[in-house]
Structure 1
Amino acid sequence: MSKTGRGRGRLVAERRYPNSSSSKGTGTGAKPRTSGGKRAQSGRSARSSSRRGARRGGGGGRGGISGAARGIVGFFARLIWIVTSRVALVAAIVLAVAVGLTYATLPSLDDLLDGRAQGSVTMLDREGRVFAWRGDQFGGAVRAEQVSPHLKNAIIATEDRRFYWHPGVSPRGVASAIRINLREGRGPLQGHGGSTITQQTAKLLCLGREYDASEWESEAAYVADCRETSIARKAKEAIYAMAMEAKYSKDDILSIYLNRAYMGGGAYGAEAASQRYFSKPASALRPAEAAMIAGLLTAPTSLAPTNSIERSRARANVVIGLMEDEDYLTAAEAEEARNNPASLSDEAEERRGGYFADWIMDTLPPFVNVESRQDVDIRTTLDPRIQSAVEDAMNTVFENKVREGSEAQAAIVVMSADGAVRGMVGGRKTGVSGVFNRATQAVRQTGSAFKPFVYATALELGRSPYDTVVDEPFCMNIPGSGQWCPQNYTRNYSGTVTLTDALKRSLNIPAVKVSESAGRDLVAKVATDFGIDSDVVDTPSVALGVSEATLLEMTGAYAGILNGGSSVQPYGIESLTIKGDDKPLVGRRGGMGERVIREEAAKQLVFMLEKVVAEGTGRSARLPDRQAAGKTGTSNEQRDAWFVGFTADYVAGVWMGYDDNTPLTGVTGGGLPADIWREAMTRIHDGMPARPLPMMQPTPPQRTVEQQPAPQPQQQPQPQRQPQQQTDAVGDFVGRVLRDIFGN
């Protein structure tokens, strides 16, 4: 048994627990085995701990330092996490509060669709076709679902391809923009902004802050503040954008953007741009047209197709590529759009009637001007065919008959006998607008173009075109001024002449005598009643056209002669309608007024003016296929040259001169102005049946006008006669040749 006990001890206890003391004693001691086992287990745990310590890199002292370090790192990590999470939570709460407060201030969608500072004016010619736009164009509010899907896709592909997935701001887009800006050497917020469509819309809304004239020194300062790009401003913009995302749907936000974004050419919004450039609604845009409009958002003024169709098409091709990349267009559709680029409509490309449109804007009643923010449609009197004719006539004469380098200017006005203006050019440069309009704004001396009002007064008083007056040396004593001796242009005298001959040859002395005989106060009244709004001077020289007038006034006054002696107020507006209304708010603004002279006197004056063109100083204005009447005019020192005349259908006036009053060289009313008039009227009447002038053959002569004019009571002028110098046949022939060459 002892062997058995010893063997069990060696096989179990000693082999498992190598401690020698534990192997002594009897093999039957259970406790000793148990006690020895516990001690052996304790020793094994110690050895195991020692081995783990060794594996972790050191002895007992070094393990303590590492544990302490780990504890410190863990502490600070937990502290940073606690602080960061708390700060993030506070920031989230603050952001939520800021977004909520902003959300509460947002108005309804309808209040945000139209944000223009001005209203729009759309002008239509007499045939109902649009030819000009003014103010801030707005084609009416459209929703995102109402425009062409190609336009929506083009804008999203170009401006914000993640529009339907972000919450108003795109951190990825901002980071990308900052990286690009830094790489290109700009500040982080300069250049690319990384703004979403929602953020751009927030900027267009100026973060809900409306313009207040009492707060801002100018609207430009307000706009500059709205476009500020500081970090604080960007933060506010992001909050406003998120509030918009919370209140409005994505399509609502896109609708605001589509209506408020400026797209060049005075057009605000997609509908206005579509009508402005393509004369079609935004719902009907093709891919190429949609790409062109979307491309304008980058630089609307410089990329506008009305400024450069080449630049606009190049940008549209880039947009087409982006649409293809986003699978909005197939490769075939994209190629089709590139091969058939967008083109301007005829109305947008024509660019005619700029001076006329500017004049219309100046005549609008105050309660419907663009500052009122009302959108109006104006039906005008403009005839596109006549407008083209006068522009072509102006260009033809200046290209072929005016010396190169000359800075002389010219203007043309064409109207009907009732004062309806059919065409207007306010300077030698056509197809422009927003510049000085010499047809309506230049007030110049009329010269001999004023003489018809002198003879109109005489005819109204019962004189006949065949009555005579003596053309001779003539002087008057003018109180306060001394002796005044008018002279004819040729410095020759013709003796006794009829009133018709005197006007036909534009003789100065007979005109002064007739004026003084009729009474210069009556002459001034007749001229004013016919439409000369400028003050008519009360001196004997009034008969020679020293008074001033605009070309529009002079043309309107001659229209009164054509229509039988009634005054006219030149007008260009037939009707004015608030967009969306059926009934016009304003009707015709102008037309025929009260009678100035008898119809018989007017028809006799037409007879006299017809002789001016047929036989006199206005022969250069003769038309090949119909009668014409008119009068030349040249002011003192040839600073102004005029020709104003009419056919049975239209009245036209032409002025020529320098803006700085420099005298013209070799130009009189019977020269270049008559040439421009003839070129214009020939084109205007092309294809029209010839109609006779409304003139009356005068009765045989019955009296002779006194050689000495009736004295004015207030001045008591005493005509002084000088020895009469009779001209010989040779002198008279030379005078006529000179007049033919140089005009009046």
Structure 2
Amino acid sequence: MARRDVRRASTPSEDPQPRPKRRWFRRLFIWGTVIALLAIAALGIAVAMAARSIPGFDELKETAAGQTIVVRARDGSELLTMGPSPGNWLRSDEIPQVMKDAMISVEDRRFRSHFGVDPIGLARAVWVATTGDRRIAATSTISQQLARNVFLNNSRTFGRKAREAILAMALEAKFSKEQILELYLNKVYFGGGAYGVDAASRKFFSHSARDLNVGEAAIIAGLVKAPSRYSPTADVQAAVKRANIVLQLMKQEGAIGAAEADAIDVSTVKLKPEAGQNSARYFTDWVLEYLDLVLPDTQEPLEVWTTLDAGMQRAATSAIQANAPKGAQGALVSLDRDGAVLAMVGGTDYVSSNYNRAIQAVRQPGSAWKLFVYMAALEAGYLPDDRVVDEPVTINGWSPRNSGGTYAGPIDVRTAFAYSKNTVAAQLGNEVGFGSVASMARRFGITTPIATNPSMVLGTSEVRLIDMTRAFAAVSARGMSVEPYGVMKVTTANGRVLYQHEAAKGQQLVPDYVAAGITDLLQTAVNVGTGKAAQIGRPVAGKTGTTSSNKDGWFLGFSSGITTGVWMGRDDARAVPGLQGGTAPARAFATYMRQAVAKRPVEQFATDLKLPEWKLEPDEEYLYGDPSEYYYVDEDGNLVDQNRRTDWRDDPYPPPEQQPGTPPPAANQDFLDQATGGAANARPESRGNVNVGRGSRPPAPPGPPEAPAPAPSP
């Protein structure tokens, strides 16, 4: 009896919940298994169908490797043909084992064991996609890369990756590992138009891939990741560094012994001498990158019609090579009045360095930046003839100095710009606001970060040459925006148009009078100022730029509708003795422009200042006319005899706010005091500057505030 009671007493303490939990876990497991089996079945069906649709091995061998692209100059002459380089198809037994081992080690070390998709690599790819941890590489297998190269494009979408995985498994189901490796090594792209190991070996080493040694195989295997970056003809050091990584991976995988890996010096590998390539390759590289943005996915042969003028390109190349200081690089961009790129030079030698300094490099522009400072000042009301003072100044603890260490005293704006006076630029930037200068630069197409500290007026913010050239082109276009472009149209081999350039709608960036004023200043800088070396026997407007310690030299200018920018300096930003904007860059500009504008009519610049009505300064006769035509009233409204005026009206220059028909002042009193260097009621002879927006006219002393303004006679 007691035993029964104990059993009954213990029953309530038991948990009745585990059975329902177990049922849910069991259901979840069953349904999960069913879904997984269905997914596997669906995947198997998809792989089987893909395997049936994949062409046979011999058919895949015959498919063309790569797309043929012909790039033409504006006259139709051929600049570049891109397509498969000559090479032979090598059977698997003809490809050296070191080449196979090098490729497997660096691209797919589990190639021999996976089924087309590497589960470990796939898990790593999922981790990258979900966490964004780019330190962990998410690479495709050799089978996946082959599927992508043969059947798909390079778009990075989930759908494409899924198709790539299915096709890779289909390839594994249809072909042996050796067949897949043979297809891959004969079709993968190694750069420079070389598809396949034999084409790559002939291009880089002048012999067949049958004779590759370990060092050469390591160089070729290292190219697949980034053919243009690791190409030995473009950057030998990068190619050697990458090849050493391949050798270390081969050692880890046991493909070569540690002693052999350590004994190989890749830097001693003999490369094939590269035939000279003209500098148009800087331009064609830029154009081909643009095509990726505007063209649909297609493998059809293409013809790209560009804006490049072949004759001007040769002249630009010669001008840079002939004038760049020893050990320095040079770059040039030349734009037509509509923004068409007529010539582009990205360096002194494309073969030794394909780094495009005209597009990619960011360097300090020095005094060339004063273009934006003076345009901001002109927009704020300054005129080329206005008086300014070249004298020592300190702004927020910063004290700029002129390059010669001397100061000219009172001069006009035109002279200050022509002789690139740093102190005047600093004063103008401080008066109009450093933010206004930065805004002006942004308006004219500067895309790099811009500082707004006082020293920014001297060009301390780094810029691109093409952006600066674009800004000067907009000035040449009388203040209308200019958009550089290099492609006119793209067609297929049979003439079907895939892309046609459409002219961008221009915007007025600054009023006409600002464009006319800055053109006046730019022309003076070439005629008598720092840019005299840029003279070419016809009107030229331009500006020099030199950075501290002669690290950078610039000249940018325009003539007869062509705008050209030149930069020179070292890639490591070290000083170049004697380099100034007015020396080598200006000479290179002149050398090129003499040929570039030779067949164009001479054009005079529009420098006449046509100010809007509110900025016009009325002359004395216009203001006063005949005294009998004016009447005055006292504070009670009674007429006052003009012949007995003894108050402030006797002053020939009444205050602007008391002149009939004149607009309100262009700036407040504090701004005027700062711009003129003293109190607003100082006489002209005591001033360093003049009123902003008032030309060279001396301002009047203020009258009594209670005095009524004169009014014209009815």
Q: TM-score range by the shorter chain?
A: 0.5 to 0.7
The match for 2:331 is 411
* Structure 2: distance between partners of 1:711 and 1:527: 25
**Cα drift, residue 557 of structure 1:** 0.6
Question: Do the aligned partners of residues 106 and 451 (structure 1) sit closer, same or farther apart at CA in structure 2, a change above 3 Å counting?
Answer: closer
Q: Structure 1 CA distance, aligned partners of 2:675 and 2:377?
A: 21
CA RMSD of aligned residues (A): 5.4
Match of 1:695 among 606, 612, 620: 606
Which residue of 2 is the match for residue 571 of structure 1?
A: 485
* Aligned-partner Cα distance in 2 for 1:111–1:468: 78
Tell me the residue number matched to 1:287: none
Structure 1 residue 720 displacement after superposition: 9.9
Q: Unpaired segments of 5 or more residues in structure 1? A: 1-100, 140-150, 161-168, 182-188, 194-205, 227-235, 245-255, 278-292, 309-347, 704-708, 722-744
**CA separation of 1:485/1:702 partners in 2, compared to 1, >3 Å: closer, same or farther?**
farther
Tell me by how many angstroms 1:451 deviates: 0.8
Take 1:596 and 1:512, find their aligned partners in 2: how far apart are those partners?
Answer: 23
Report deviation, 1:558: 0.4
- Tell me how far 1:683 sits from its aligned partner: 3.1
Partner residue, 1:470: 389
Q: Is the 8 A contact 1:261 1:297 kept in 2?
A: no
Partner residue of 1:127? 75
Give 1:363's match in structure 2, choosing from 290, 313, 316: 290
Name the SS for the 1:595 alignment partner.
coil
Structure 1 residues 528 and 104, CA, compared in 2 at 3 Å: closer, same or farther? closer
Match of 1:513 in 2: 427
Q: 1:357-506 counterparts in 2 under 5 A?
A: 357-366=284-293, 368=295, 376-398=302-324, 402-403=325-326, 406=327, 408-430=328-350, 435-476=354-395, 478=396, 483-506=397-420
Maintained 8 Å contact 1:566/1:592:
no
Offset at residue 295 of structure 1 (A): 8.8
Q: Deviations over 1:44-65 (max 9, x none)?
A: xxxxxxxxxxxxxxxxxxxxxx
Look up the equivalent residue of 1:107 and give its one-letter code: P
Please say if residues 377 and 578 of structure 1, whose CA atoms lie closer than 8 Å, have aligned partners that are also in contact.
yes
Matches within 5 A, 1:301-380: 351-366=278-293, 368=295, 376-380=302-306
Distance 1:720 1:601, change over 3 A: closer
CA change 1:114–1:498 in 2 (3 A) is: farther
Provide the aligned length of Structure 1 versus Structure 2.
Answer: 473
Matched residues in 1 for 2:62 and 2:288: separation?
26
- Paired residue type of 1:547: S
Q: What CA distance in whole angstroms lies between the structure 2 residues aligned with 1:395 and 1:579?
A: 36
Cα pair distance change 1:452/1:364, threshold 3 Å: same
Q: Are the structure 2 counterparts of residues 522 and 578 from structure 1 closer, same or farther at C-alpha, using a change threshold of 3 Å? A: farther
1:260 is displaced (CA, Å) by 6.3
Structure 1 residues 599 and 584, CA gap change in structure 2 (3 angstroms) = farther
CA deviation map 1:604-655 (0-9, x unaligned): 32122111111100011111x3221110111233322111111113111111
Change (3 A) 1:621 1:673: same
- Distance in 2 (alpha carbons) for counterparts of 1:349 and 1:598: 47
**1:543–1:375 Cα change, 3 Å:** same
Query: Residues of 1 paired with 2:585 and 2:511: CA distance?
Result: 30
Fraction of identical pairs, as percent:
30
CA contact (8 A) 1:517 1:710 kept: no
Cα distance in 2 for residues equivalent to 1:412 and 1:511: 26
1:669 to 2:617 alignment:
no
Match of 1:630 in 2: 542
Offset of 1:211 from its aligned partner? 9.3
Structure 1 residue 553 corresponds to structure 2 residue 467:
yes
In structure 2, the partner of 1:222 is 142
Partner letter of residue 613 of structure 1? Answer: V
CA-to-partner distance for each residue in 1:341-396, whole Å, 9 max, x for gaps? xxxxxxx98644111122223334447488x7565432221111111111111121
Contact 2:539 2:605 in 1 (8 A): no
Alignment partners' CA distance in 2, 1:458 and 1:133: 49
Q: Which amino acid aligns with 2:403?
A: Y
CA contact (8 A) 2:323 2:585 kept: no
Matches within 5 A, 1:120-269: 121-133=69-81, 137=83, 222=142, 265-266=192-193
Whether the 8 Å contact between 2:391 and 2:408 is mirrored in structure 1 is yes
Q: Could you tell me which residue of structure 1 aligns to residue 592 of structure 2?
A: 680
**Mapped contact 2:551–2:579 kept (Cα < 8 A):** no
Q: 5 Å matches for 1:711-730?
A: none
Q: Distance in 1 between matches of 2:68 and 2:481?
A: 33
Cα shift at 1:530: 0.7
Superposition deviation, residue 210 in structure 1: 8.3
Tell me how far apart the structure 2 counterparts of residues 520 and 264 of structure 1 sit (CA, whole Å): 47
- 5+ residue gaps, structure 2, are 1-48, 101-111, 126-136, 147-170, 220-231, 234-274, 619-665, 679-714
Counterparts of 1:660 and 1:693, CA distance in 2: 40
Structure 1 pair 114–620 and aligned structure 2 pair: CA distance change class (3 A): same
Give 1:717 shift.
10
Partners in 1 of 2:117 and 2:67 — Cα distance?
15
Aligned counterparts of 1:684 and 1:536: Cα–Cα separation in 2: 33
**Alpha-carbon contact 1:440-1:552 (below 8 Å) kept:** yes
Counterparts of 2:567 and 2:669 in 1: how far apart (Å)?
33
| SS of equivalent residue, structure 2 residue 443 | helix
User: Quick one: structure 1 residues 534 and 295, their matched pair in 2 at CA, closer, same or farther if it must change by over 3 Å?
Assistant: closer
- In structure 2, the CA distance between the partners of 1:441 and 1:105, relative to structure 1 (3 Å rule), is closer
Q: Which residue of 2 is the match for residue 612 of structure 1?
A: 525
Which residue number in structure 1 is paired with residue 568 of structure 2? 656
1:585 to 479, 499, 507: 499
**2:436 matched to which residue of 1?**
522
| Structure-2 separation of matches of 1:155 and 1:669 | 52
1: CA distance, partners of 2:334 / 2:546: 20
| Structure 2 Cα separation of the partners of residues 383 and 297 of structure 1 | 43
Q: Given the superposition, is the C-alpha separation of residues 581 and 267 from structure 1 closer, same or farther in structure 2, using an over 3 Å criterion?
A: farther
- CA–CA separation in structure 1 for the residues paired with 2:190 and 2:562: 40
Highest RCO, 1 vs 2 (Cα 8 Å, sep ≥ 6): 1
Find the residue that maps to 2:497 and give its secondary structure: coil
TM superposition score normalised by structure 1: 0.52
SS at match of 2:436: helix
Distance in 1 (CA, whole Å) between partners of 2:578 and 2:64 is 55
Paired residue secondary structure (2:542): strand
For the 8 Å contact 2:476–2:561, the answer to whether it is kept is: no
Query: Whole-Å Cα distance in 2 between the matches of residues 359 and 264 of structure 1?
Result: 16
The yes-or-no answer on 1:600 pairing with 2:527 is no
2:193 maps to a residue whose letter is: G
Where 1:596 maps in the other structure, the secondary structure is: coil
Closer/same/farther in 2, CA of residues 689 and 719 from structure 1, 3 Å limit: closer
The structure with the largest alpha-carbon Rg is 1
